[in-house]
Every structure is written in structure tokens, then in C-alpha cells.
Structure 1
Amino acid sequence: MDEFIPDTFRMDIKDEREAFFSQQEGLCADRGDIWICKPTGLNQGRGIFLLQTPEDTAAFRARMQTLAGSHTNKKIPFSMSQALIAQRYIQNPLLLKGKKFDVRSYFLIACTSPYVVFFRHGYVRLTCDLYDPKSNNLTAHLTNQYMQKKNPLYSMLKEETVWSMERFNSYINEKFMVPKGLPRDWVLSVFTRRMQQIMTHCFLAVKSKLECKLGYFDLIGCDFLIDEDFKVWLLEMNCNPALHTNCEVLKEVVPSTVTETLDLAVEIYNKCRCGLKLLPLSSQKDFVLLHCGETAGVPLTKQRSRTAGPLRTACSKSRSSIKKL
């Protein structure tokens, strides 16, 4: 995973926490490494902060030691107080018109019994300001719309903070195809395949931990960053990202992701209940199938016979019968 995930340390795990701070002690003060700290269970950039100087790191270490002491004294639940990660900040991102960006794509686990997972294109998110890695303003580092709305330039640049994948592809063709020797439509070919490979790898890494029950599904937002060498990095994966999207400009870029997700999950659910062949799926639309197969070691054919029931019973099931992971 170190091929596509920046160095990351969990602060709620003692060994990883100590390894992170030991690593920082061995670095030169003028090296200029930046780390980004993110809490778990939050969205919209809440609780995120940067470690840009040795003083920042020292203060962070003192905070962690205080929290660890509070846990020892049983004043604060340890897992809740330190549930965050420290991730190496990619300081050489590819820029669009001088601005930092990332790509939000969708990973749908439409069913866990059997496993059926999909990829769907999303959109590109840009900052309002030109990129400056030394900036103390979080809006220069975090691309999500909630953070960009805090920038005084947002009202004027709102339409430029979100690009469609088609516009992104055209820009890369125009600006980088020849200078970087990229194949035409690199975004819609090489980059897309790499995102799909990474999503599949992550799924295979955790699928044994998923609760396998017919009707369970989840839509996950995956945030990818491309550096100036066109290396693709996975920054994080977020559950239910579309439900947190409230920016008007996104309506044309991702018009019906949630609706299409529900339609697809319901179709698969009903077919499984009826013992019908899963593929093809009439509601698949822009979703690309990544994996369709076994569930907890049970062959697909056996799983179908076990879950099959009377047609009248299966088809009477409504969307309330399916549940997010």
C-alpha cells in the first residue's frame, strides 16, 4: 500500500504514535517535511491541522502525552481522544492553473452477499488560491467545498472550484500530453484504471472484515491526488460522501449519484432474493463493475439457492429492507 498511500501513522496505537515522534526526532529542522493530521469520524475538513514546523510537532507530542495520561487516569476514553492519523503531506502536487486539486471518485459496495462492487467517476475539486505549501491557511491545502466556502474569493470563483472529469481530461490533453509524453485521454484511461486498481486492492484488503448480509451496502468517496510526476496517491476514503454534498455547483457534475446507488443496490437485492442471474444490471448506468463473486467463502451459485425465495415475497421488499454497512 505504500505505493499509493502516503506514510501514515495512527495516533491511537501506541507503537505507531511512538514511531512517528521518534522519526521526527531524527529529521533535520530545515528538511521542511509537512504532516497533515486528520481525525476519524468527521467530514468537511473539521478537526484537520498541519504540522509545518518542529514547534508544531513538539506541541502535538505534548498534546498526545497529555491525552495518554488522561487515559491512564481514566478521565478520557483513549480511543475517542486520540482517534486521528498523521499523514505525510504531498508537497509536489500537480496543479491546475496554479491551484491544488484532488479527484473525488466513488466506490460502491452494492452488496456483500455476494460481493458486488463498482467504480464511478466523480469530479475534480480545486482551491480558490494559488498553491503555496507554506501557507497557514487551510483553504490553500484542503480542496473540499466546505473549506473553500470560507475563502473570501469563493463567491467569485465558485464555478472554478469544481471541474467535471471531461474538462479535467481536456485540460491534461492540452497542457501536459506533449510535454510529459502522456497518452491522449490519460485521465479517462491510465488514471481511471489506476483508481480502479487501488479501490479493488483496498476492497480485497478489508472484505474479510465486512459483515456479509444480503441488503447491506455503502457508497464510499475516494479522494485521489496526482503529483507533478503523475503518480497517483489515495489520500482517504469517506463513507456517504454524496450525502454531505450541498454545493449547488455540483448538481450538474454529479446529478444523481445517490439515487443511482439506491437503484443499483435495490436491483441486486431483489435479484438475489429471487434467485435470478445478477448480470446484466439495468440500473448500472455509469457504474463500472470491479468485482462480483463469492461471499465469505460461499460460492455464488450456492448463495443464490440459499437466499432464493418466492417471487411474491422477494419483490415485495422495499428500499427499507436494505441497509448501509
Structure 2
Amino acid sequence: MILMLKMRCVCSFTTLTWFWFAWTHVADFLCRVSSYFDSRGWMRIYSEHREDFKLKWCVTKSPAKYRSFREGRHLMYQIPNNMVLTTKIGLLRSLREFEQVGRKVQHGHRWLKMEEFIPSTYRMDMKKERELFFSHFTQQEAVESCMWICKPTNGSQGRGIFLLKNTQDPLLLKFAFSHSLAFSPPQASFPNIRYIQKPLLLDGRKFDVRSYLLIACTAPYMVFFRHGYVRLTCDVYDPMSNNLSTHLTNQYVQKKHPHYSELKEDTVWSMESFNTYVNLRFQVAKGLPRDWVLGAFARRMQQIMTQCFFAVKDKLDCRPGFFDLIGCDFLVDESFKVWLLEMTCNPALNADCEVLKEVIPRTVSETLDLTLELFSKCRLRKKILPLASQKDFVMLYSGASDHACSKTSNGIKLDKKKIKRNHTTQPKRESKVEGKKGADNPLPKVTSSL
């Protein structure tokens, strides 16, 4: 499915502006985006080979899709090398490198240790870590029973995920690796992640929280957080169940449940409903502050997301015109510790239940409002802050100074060395860690009371 639109007079673009859109699923989201642009005078165009577009929304990334991009003139959804943040191994590598550098360079902040928000993880595509995992598992099993979850680094919708639940499973996996069974290099690119066996439950069911990280502008960086929604399983939680739908909360997996159509509305909660539930069930019993969900929990998510952004800030392709909306999934365990499960590019934006019909359209509209406002202000050399379109999104980081963006006659003035360094769509080699350059405005300190 491809969509392109043309605009008559929006913000300060040229008289005719075109919008190109490619989406592989959900017609309702296609209609929602079309409605957004229709109401603002944009017109759709249908050829992906045209180069006179102003905004291109792509789901899948390929060199061909970025070939026609012109920095400072075009807007394009998805930063080309966002895999340093949105793949499981990419994020793991970025955080490890950042933690190593962070011990020496604090930038005035107290960064979290990875073990405070990332479950123990081993890369199975690296021999040393693979052997360390098998050794660790054997020792750990002698002390306590533990489970591990294996996720393909580029996977989505629950595809390719499996659990290691007993002492025999890792032995079988080790045998498969040692005999090269079913694991060619691409298949071996998955991390083994320690499974949180005692998650907090809502009415006996496992859940996680989908929040959003918006990089609305890359030159200068403008980064935002937004609340999303709670995703629950259909079935009551049983850690020893062989049914993946008991362990995975995403809607693609839950839709396979035989009673999903009847339970659908109860598999997605609003953050307000989650907050009310925690106030009623856990505030007194666990000694939590009132509105823990909307207060301490929200701040913790923001703190983690900010650290993840800083881990990739000097790696991302920051040519002006790129923007990205990233889905961030968090789990809360029974002791109310917050864990980051993963960050995903191109998060699902379909709205097939009442909560999503409220959350998704507002998220999409404000994402585009902020992106267009920032792009327009930079082109016109206007002061960036305050942002008239900012409503539900919370600013995590601003690289904008108080004065207007420095521009050339044809758009944003660029640091050519930085562009050359960042334009590649491939992540850096593991052994190389780039230091930070320049003096950005300091990040507002984020504190958390958990």
C-alpha cells in the first residue's frame, strides 16, 4: 500500500507539497494519516519513485527508499540506522558501550547501571557469551530454578521466540549450536534474556506497558516521551505454561487466542485505569505513593528512555528531516521494579479497541504536529521553544539553544564531518565507542521514587 499527498499551503512550505506513504498493514491507520493530511491541505501521490515529495512515511527501510532524501528539504519517517536502538542486539551493544564510557564521563548525571533496568542478557551470536551463558545456567540451576526467553534480534509479533524452562532445554540448545543444527549466523542472532518469573499481575494476568519515544527532530535533537497503554494476556499467568500467549502480551499473539474477540477490550487498559487499579490494590499493601503509575513509574520510564537515547545520540544519522516514533515496552515485577523489555521501530498503530481508539490517533497527530512545527521553525530560522503543538508529549531532551537555528540559504547549517560520520545505515563496530562532541543543553535531571 502506497500513499502520496500534495499540499496547498501548510506551515511555510512551497505552494504544492506532496506526501508519500507506504504501509503494509491496517487500512484504518492509512485512513487516519490520510485524514490528518487532508485536513491540512496535503495531497497524496502514488509513485514511490517521485522525488518532489515533502514527507515520506516508510515502514520498511532500504537504501532505495532513502536515495531520494534531501536533508533540510524532505521529512522522512524512520532514522535510517535506528537499529542501534530498536533491535535487541543493537540496543544491548549501545548500552554496554555507553556504560563503559559513562564510568569515565558522567556529563553531570547519574546514569543507571544496566542491571537496574535490563534483565541479564547473553548474546548467542558471540561464542564467548554463548559459552558463558551455558556455564552460568548450569551453576544457577544448582541454586535456583530460572527461565530464559530467546528473542530474534530483529523479530516482531512474537515470531521466533522460545523459552528455556528446564535443565534439558539449554542442553538441547547447546547441542544444536555445537553441531550447527538450525543455527546459521542469521538464526543465531538472538539474545538469551533472563525471564522475569514474578511479574506484577493485574487480575492474575501478565501485562506490560507500551510507551512512546519520539525523536521529532535530529538537527537539533528534540526528544519526547508519551504515555501509551497497558497490554494484558487473555489467560491467567502460569510461568510453566507452554502456551506463548501466556507469556507474551503483544496483540498479534493474543489475537490467536480462541476467545480473543470476547476478551479483546480487556486486553488493553488505559494508563488511567492502570493507575486506579494500583491505587486500590497496592498503594497501602505495598506502601506506594498515591498515583505511583502516573508519577514514579512515569519518571522511571522517562529516565530509562533518556539513557537509551544518550547511548545512541552520537551514532544516529542526524541529517535534518529524519524523525522517528519508537515503541518502548516496560514490565513491572512484583516488587515494583521497572524493566525495559525492548524498543521497537515502526510500532503498531492500529486501533481495534476502545482504548487504542483514544490513544493512537492522538499520538499520531501530535507526532506529526511536533515534527512539522520543528521542521518549519528550523527552515524559517525561528526560535524553537516554546512549541505550540506540544500537548501530551513530555520533552526529555532539547538540543535547541534559545536563539533560532543557524541556517544556510538552503536550510539547516550542517556539521559536515558529523554528517559524514553518521550517514551510514550500519551500526558501528563493537570495539569502537565514540565520545560525545559539542555542548548540548543539559538534560533536565530525572529523579525516581520507586
TM-score, scaled relative to structure 2 = 0.63
Determine if the alignment matches structure 1 residue 17 to structure 2 residue 123: no
1:60 matched to which residue of 2? 173
Q: In the TM superposition, what is the alpha-carbon distance from 1:310 to its structure 2 partner?
A: 7.6
Matches within 5 A, 1:15-164: 15-28=128-141, 31-67=144-180, 76=184, 78=185, 80-164=186-270
Indicate conservation of the 8 Å contact 2:198/2:333, yes or no.
yes
Question: How far 1:303 moved relative to its partner?
Answer: 8.8
Q: CA deviation at 1:46?
A: 0.9
8 Å CA contact retained: 1:94, 1:226 = yes
Query: 1:170 is matched with which residue?
Result: 276
Match of residue 239 from structure 1: 345
CA distance in 2, matches of 1:50, 1:194: 28
Distance 2:352 2:193 in 1: 27
CA gap of 1:172–1:310, structure 2 versus 1, over 3 A, is closer
Gaps of 5+ in 1: 295-299, 312-324
Alpha-carbon contact 2:383-2:403 (below 8 Å) kept: no
Give the Cα separation in 2 of the matches to 1:66 and 1:217: 44
Give the distance between the partners of 1:252 and 1:165, measured in 2 at CA: 12
- The CA distance in 2 between the partners of 1:310 and 1:217, in whole Å, is 16
Change (3 A) 1:119 1:62: same
Tell me how far apart the structure 2 counterparts of residues 307 and 3 of structure 1 sit (CA, whole Å): 44
Identify the residue that residue 73 of structure 2 maps to in structure 1: none
Residues 111-145 of structure 1, C-alpha deviation per residue, up to 9 Å, x if partnerless?
A: 11111100000000011111111111000000011
Q: In the aligned structure 1, how far is the partner of 2:115 from the partner of 2:343?
A: 16
User: What corresponds to 1:7 in structure 2?
Assistant: 120
Number of residue pairs matched by the alignment: 299
Give the percent of matched residue pairs that are identical in Structure 1 and Structure 2. 61
Partner residue, 2:360: 254
RMSD: 2.3
Q: Give the equivalent residue in structure 1 for 2:5.
A: none
Contact 2:225 2:396 (8 Å CA) reproduced: yes
Separation in structure 1 between the aligned mates of residue 219 and residue 369 of structure 2, nearest angstrom = 17
The change in CA–CA distance for 1:162 and 1:308 in structure 2 (over 3 A counts) is: farther
Choose which of 301, 306, 316 in structure 1 pairs with 2:407.
306
Take 1:308 and 1:191, find their aligned partners in 2: how far apart are those partners?
A: 45
CA distance in 2, matches of 1:224, 1:57: 26
What are structure 2's unaligned runs of at least 5 residues?
1-113, 413-424, 426-450
| Correspondence for 1:188 | 294
- 3-state SS, counterpart of residue 95 of structure 1: coil
For 2:290 and 2:233, the matched residues in 1 are separated by 26
Shift of 1:163: 0.2
Judged with a 3 Å threshold, the aligned counterparts in structure 2 of structure 1 residues 90 and 64 are, in CA distance, closer, same or farther, namely same
Could you tell me whether the CA contact under 8 Å between 2:282 and 2:288 is conserved in 1? yes
Contact 2:150 2:193 in 1 (8 A): yes
Q: Partner amino acid for 1:110? A: A
Matches within 5 A, 1:172-321: 172-243=278-349, 245=350, 247-249=352-354, 250-293=356-399, 300=401, 304-307=405-408, 309=410
Distance 2:198 2:179 in 1: 34
Q: Is the 8 A contact 1:39 1:48 kept in 2?
A: yes
TM-score, normalised to structure 1's length?
0.86
Q: Deviations over 1:8-66 (max 9, x none)?
A: 11222222222111212223368321000000222111111101012211122223334
Deviates further, 121-130 or 273-282: 273-282
Paired residue secondary structure (2:285): coil
Q: Distance in 1 between the 2:362 and 2:117 partners?
A: 29
Bigger proportion of residues as helix? 1
Return closer, same or farther for 1:131/1:30 CA change in 2, 3 Å cut-off.
farther
